[in-house]
Amino acid sequence: MNTLNELDRRLLMDRSVEGRRAVALPESDVPAQPMPDAAMLRDELPLPEISQLEVIRYFSLLSHLNFSIDTNFYPLGSCTMKYNPKLNDAMASLPGFAGIHPNQPAEQVQGAVQLMYELQGALGEVTGLPGVSLAPLAGAQGEYAGLLIARAYHDMRKDSARTVALIPDSAHGTNPASAAMTGLEVVTVPSTADGNVDVEALRSLADERTAVFMLTLPSTLGLFEPSILEITELIHSVGGLVYADGANMNALLGMVRLGDLGFDICHSNLHKTFSTPHGGGGPGSGPVMVTEELAKFLPEPVAVLDGDTYRLTEPENSIGKINGFHGSFNILVRAYTYIRAMGGDGLKSVAENAIINANYIQAQLKDRYDLAADRYCMHETVLSATRQKKRGVKGLDIAKRLLDHGIHAPTMYFPLIVEEALMVEPTETESKETLDRFIEVMRQIDDEVTNDPETVRTAPHTLPVTRLDEATAARKPYLRWNHTP
Ligand SMILES: *Cc1c(COP(=O)(O)O)cnc(C)c1O
């Protein structure tokens, strides 16, 4: 069996030569010290003995086994794996940013607090929701903070019977989880056959118990919600608040502002739209944005300009701190750099190109693959491998076969309401040549499903690891080269 674990051993242990060293230290000029109690010493320590070059080569080779956006097309839906300009990293590495301590008083780090203040302003402008806190450390934590704000708002009005969060079945999975974390009861709103919120169903569910309606926009089907104005008005008419999961702002930048649509609260993922590399679970940043009326509830800190001094403050009725310090500061620097470098027109062109790229792929593949919804999509398109499944090949097999072509798998089996879902998000940073190649490969794989399904079912054939037990890999990872299970 060709596991990564065995590959490690082959690479490292097979290189070991007794007595070989990576560094040559000078003769010691300090007196030798007595060894500790012999019972505490090991008899043997089987480490590979290899030269410095071999160590470098080993780790470099290993790093080449990674898929990354810097090496491969990465159309992982809902994740916005776009190219992150290296300028962002350079700015985040400036000693004046990288070297400061979170306990330094604001007077000593005026530039950093100014950056937070201006980033708050930019995000308020982009979303049309001017109250901003940069504290949340992830999209899900932004949701949590936003829902606590909704609760605090109702509590302050002594409207405490509002305990229900209405959430469509096309929502991102974190939405119901965050609502449950804040103690709200989750009630699911069905979608219509063409992927919109079922407004009539919503009308019958919205009442004096509604604390918040939470909408992922664009939805996990990659769609805009055409009834959004009717929906926000309906929720407000029963006294509820409207929350936008704006984790994926790629399709909205400069096109429409959530505040103008009637949303009261939203969050956005800086580690998706605003160009911070991500993956593997962190780090992230999910600022929360609210209307002026709700700004007094924001989590601390919020940067303000007081005369000509920038300060970090706790809003009047703040829900408090949601983590130790000021959020993921180095991600804030990257987002700020990205926004300033792109400018307003640049951000708008991000949305235009993200939308065109996704629709191009959808249009070029819809004769071969079913669509979750046969209409214009936004920044991503959800394909379905139902036609291929009838020929004995699953969405998973297609995703694995793409790896043989140097293309990262799309998001699979999500959203849950789409059978055999393959969620493709090309992003705005890919060239037409790359999109054309992806389309060609997807069409080729569909031919293969007819002519040689076994090759697809047993893919990938070119990678050192093939079909992993992903649950065990995540829960019991082998982190040592000589791990023996
Ligand atoms: C990624 C994502 C989230 C969760 O963000 P995390 O930073 O992973 O917590 C929430 N909603 C949507 C729509 C997303 O795409």
pLDDT for 3: 47
**Ligand 1 neighbour 138 (Cβ under 6 A):** yes
pTM score of the predicted model = 0.89
Average pLDDT over residues 266-290: 89
User: Using an 8 Å Cβ cutoff, are 139 and 267 in contact?
Assistant: yes
Q: Is residue 431 part of a domain?
A: yes
Does residue 253 belong to any structural domain of this protein? yes
Ligand 1 neighbourhood includes 269 CB (under 6 angstroms): yes
Q: Verify that 354 and 328 share a domain, yes or no.
A: no
Domain assignment present for 76: no
- Which of 316, 342, 368 marks a domain boundary? 342
Quote the percentage of the chain above a pLDDT of 70: 96
Specify the pLDDT at position 65.
79
Does residue 30 carry a pLDDT above 60?
A: yes
203 and 167, same structural domain? yes
Residues 329 and 247 in one domain: yes
- Nearest protein CA to atom 8 of ligand 1, as residue: 139
Q: Encoding tokens for residue 278?
A: 């991500």
C-alpha torsion sign, points 211, 216, 220, 224: positive
The rounded Å distance from CA 170 to ligand 1 centre is 14
The reply to whether 130 and 277 lie within a common domain is: yes
pLDDT for the residue numbered 436: 98
Our mutation pick for probing the ligand 1 site, out of 82, 170, 172, counting the most ligand atoms within 8 A of Cβ, is 172
Within-domain flag for 75: no
What mean pLDDT value characterizes the chain?
A: 93
Closest ligand 1 atom, CA of 140?
Answer: 9
Question: Minimum mean pLDDT among 63-67, 297-301, 417-421, 438-442: which range?
Answer: 63-67
| From 174, 215, 249, 416, mutation site for ligand 1 pocket: most ligand atoms within 8 A of C-beta | 174
Predicted local confidence at residue 414, as pLDDT: 87
Rounded to the nearest angstrom, the distance between the alpha carbon of 172 and the centre of ligand 1 is 7
Encoding tokens for residue 93? 């590495």
DSSP state letter for 347:
H
Q: How far apart are CA 352 and CA 95, in angstroms?
A: 36
In the predicted model, is pLDDT for residue 11 greater than 70? no
Does residue 175 have a pLDDT over 80?
A: yes
81 lines ligand 1 (CB under 6 A): no
Q: How confident is the model at residue 59 (pLDDT cuts 50, 70, 90)?
A: confident
Q: Confidence band (pLDDT; 50, 70, 90) for 144? A: very high
Residues 261 and 161 in one domain: yes
CATH number for the domain that contains residue 145: 3.40.640.10
Give φ, ψ of 189 to 5 degrees.
-105, 125
pLDDT band for position 485 (50/70/90)?
A: low
Least confident of 47-56, 99-108, 286-295: 47-56
Between 68 and 422, residue with greater pLDDT: 422
Q: Answer whether residue 1 shows pLDDT above 70.
A: no
Regarding whether 176 and 316 lie in a shared domain, the answer is yes
Choosing from 170, 178, 181, 245 the residue with most ligand 1 atoms within 8 A of its CB, the one to mutate for a pocket test is 245
Choose between 97 and 466: higher pLDDT. Answer: 97
On whether both 98 and 136 belong to a single domain, the answer is yes
User: How many domains, the chain?
Assistant: 3
Q: Are residues 266 and 166 in the same domain?
A: yes
The answer to which of 5-19, 309-323, 402-416 has the lowest mean pLDDT is 5-19
What does the pLDDT average to over 90-100?
Answer: 96
Judged against a pLDDT cut of 70, whether residue 40 lies above it is answered with yes
Closest CA to 182 of 243, 268, 237: 243
**Is 31 a residue whose pLDDT tops 80?**
yes
Same domain, yes or no, for 17 and 119?
no
User: Ligand 1 mean position to 136 CA, how many Å?
Assistant: 12
Q: Is 284 in the pocket of ligand 1 (CB under 6 A)?
A: yes
Question: What pLDDT, on the 0 to 100 scale, is given for residue 194?
Answer: 87
Q: Which residues, other chains included, contact 148 with Cβ-Cβ below 8 Å and sequence gap of 6+?
A: 182, 297, 299, 319
pLDDT of residue 61: 79
Residue among 269, 278, 288, 322 to mutate when testing ligand 1 (max atoms within 8 A of CB): 269
Residues 325 and 391 reside in one and the same domain = no
Q: Are 219 and 188 in contact (CB under 8 A)?
A: no
In a domain, 17, yes or no: yes
With a 6 Å cutoff on the Cβ, whether 78 touches ligand 1 is yes
For residue 405, how far is its CA from the centre of ligand 1 (angstroms)? 28
Lowest mean pLDDT segment, chosen from 255-259, 262-266, 461-465: 461-465
Per DSSP, the three-state class of 162 is coil
- For the cut 80, the answer to whether the pLDDT of residue 75 exceeds it is yes
- Does the CB atom of residue 80 touch ligand 1 within 6 A? no
* pLDDT tens digits, one per residue of 308-336: 999 999 999 999 999 989 999 999 999 99
CA-proximal residue: ligand 1, atom 2 (nearest): 247
Same domain as 302, residue 179: yes
Domain boundary among 342, 366, 393: 342
Which residue's C-alpha comes closest to atom 4 of ligand 1? 139
pLDDT, one tens digit per residue, over 342-374 is 999 999 999 999 999 999 999 999 999 999 999
Beta carbon of 248 within 6 Å of any ligand 1 atom: yes
Residue span of the structural domain in which 316 resides: 86-342
Q: How far is the CA of 173 from the centre of ligand 1 (A)?
A: 8
Report the distance separating Cα 101 and Cα 87, nearest Å: 23
